[in-house]
Structure 1
Amino acid sequence: MYCCLEHAELALDIAVDEYETAPKIEKVEEVLSCEFCENQAVYVVGN
């Protein structure tokens, strides 16, 4: 999931609920949009 700083906690919660493990969190190098709003994504959260 691509997320902005504001939605990083929400993305972490969703990833933990879905995969039941600690997700990887990496900074986004590209210009992408947050999956929860229209802001620029800062992190990618997932396994």
Structure 2
Amino acid sequence: MIYCCEEHVELALDVAVDESGTFPELNKVENQLSTTCEYCEKQAIYMVGNE
């Protein structure tokens, strides 16, 4: 699962497709208390992954 901000959502989607070979699910982060983007320090808005 990749947590990302609005700016990095396309990068996270590309990485997830490269890793799994299929298009991943894109969901909004429910609990945004301390979740940060994996590519920068902004608050994560999306979860990208196939889980």
Shared fold, TM over 0.5: yes
User: Any unmatched runs of 5+ in structure 2?
Assistant: none
User: Any unmatched runs of 5+ in structure 1?
Assistant: none
CA distance in 2, matches of 1:43, 1:3: 5
How high is the TM-score relative to the length of structure 1?
0.96
CA distance in 2, matches of 1:21, 1:10: 15
CA distance in 2, matches of 1:25, 1:15: 10
Moved segments of 4+, more than 3 Å? none
Deviation, 1:22, is 0.7
How high is the TM-score relative to the length of structure 2?
0.89
CA distance in 2, matches of 1:4, 1:30: 14
Deviation, 1:2, is 0.2
Percent identity over the alignment is 62
